[in-house]
Copies of this chain bind each other. A is one copy, B any other.
Amino acid sequence: MHVSGGDLQRLRQLNSLSSIRALRDARRPLTLTELAAHTGLSRGSIVDVVTDLQERGWIAEVEPSPGGMGRPARRYRFRADAGHVLGIDIGVHKVLATITDLNGRAVASGRTSVSPGTPREQRLDAMNRAMDAALIAAGLTSDQMWGVAAGSVGVVDREGVITRVEALPDWAGTDLVGHLAARLPCPITIENDSKLAALAEQRLGVAAGVRDLVYLHAGRRPGAALILNGRPYHGFSGATGEVGLMEITGWRTMTDHLESCPAAAGAPAEDAAALVFGAARTGDPAARAAVEAYAQDLALGTAAMVLTLDPEVVVLGGGFSRSADVLLAPLREALAPHCLRVPEIRPSTLGEECVVLGAACLALDHIDHMFFSPEGALSPPTAPQRPTPA
């Protein structure tokens, strides 16, 4: 909580920001009287603030709403289309890029396919193509982007360096920031993909507004991410949610239960899980047993996190969350004996878009911090530039 104060212009700036925030959060046009109520300012001052913001292009006037007593009031809306951010998901099998407006609404996206073996340069190239496709679809250029955030597999430290990654052979140490900086002048953030998925679920998804949650990435490479006190939790070096590395949790071997199930016999390892979940859905006893054994192991590591953090909600995400209908009940039952209070378990709903949307949320958060800080001027809406290193 930074108390700043300042001069009269700073006060006006704060009041302008207050108005913008009110308009943005209301998600509908507001009248001057409503704005005055929201901000606590007098009517006259709100008029000043609003005409100023309108001249600068932050807000726009809309038709007065018909049918009401008294003289119809002017109404204003936040111009969410004044700027855009870019979210990127660099996955193992695909790269997604999505452009959203300042409200976080997706306006365009691009996609390219890669494989686990794709070498670094080609993966970066795939990222470039996905970005370009999204930009073209949105009809925007790269210097119109206000911010970018990219999600990647692996451990991402505070400087955005990927320090550890198992799934991709030559991906660790990739200078993602540098690579993006060459093509985009705006601020850049890199984060772990599960953390972004968790953020998306907490902002837009099944855990909207939840203060404390554990996001479980259930899939071929299990993982977890945390939202604590309402904010994404990064830890000291970014290596959070790695409880599955402990032998006693069984996370390293739990997919064996699925892959060695008769229902998956002969199929390639990456299809095994889906086949077993499908068989379990139709009642196959061996498949059900395999799912239960998997859930038992998953519950061990989950219980360790739940007992440590006492979250309100556990979000079940990752590829296996598509099979939440057969996985949820066994997981809940396996969790119960370990926990003091069993948190609500909700299957993820955002699906494949989860990480890109989370990335866009993070980029929006970043520019929010910039604009709402004392230094971040409330200039006419233009794409912020990265501060040039001194």
Within the complex, the shortest CB–CB distance from A361 to chain B, in Å, comes to 15
Within the complex, the shortest CB–CB distance from A362 to chain B, in Å, comes to 15
Per-position binary interface string of chain A over residues 325-357, scored 1 when its CB falls under 8 Å from any chain B CB and 0 otherwise = 000000000000010110100000000000000
- Tell which of A3, A10, A246 has the most Cβ of chain B within 10 Å: A3
Chain A interface size range: 35 or more
Report yes or no: A340 in contact with B242, Cβ–Cβ below 8 A: yes
Chain B residues lying within 8 Å of A6, measured Cβ to Cβ, are 11, 14-15, 40-41
Report yes or no: A311 in contact with B235, Cβ–Cβ below 8 A: yes
Report yes or no: A233 in contact with B228, Cβ–Cβ below 8 A: yes
Q: Which of A269-277, A278-286, A298-306 contacts B (4 or more CB under 8 A)?
A: A298-306
The complex places the Cα of A280 from the Cα of B2 at a distance, in Å, of: 49
The complex places the Cα of A4 from the Cα of B5 at a distance, in Å, of: 11
Chain B residues lying within 8 Å of A15, measured Cβ to Cβ, are 5-6
Chain B residues lying within 8 Å of A340, measured Cβ to Cβ, are 155, 164, 239, 242, 245
Copies per complex of this chain: 2
Chain B residues lying within 8 Å of A338, measured Cβ to Cβ, are 245-246
Chain B residues lying within 8 Å of A245, measured Cβ to Cβ, are 307, 338, 340
Report yes or no: B237 in contact with A341, Cβ–Cβ below 8 A: yes
Contact of A304 among B1, B10, B11, B243 (CB under 8 A): B243
The complex places the Cα of A212 from the Cα of B231 at a distance, in Å, of: 14
- Tell which of A8, A248, A309, A369 has the most Cβ of chain B within 10 Å: A309
Contacts A228-B228, A303-B246, A308-B224 given: A239-B3 contact, CB under 8 Å?
no
Cβ-based interface call for A21 (8 A): yes
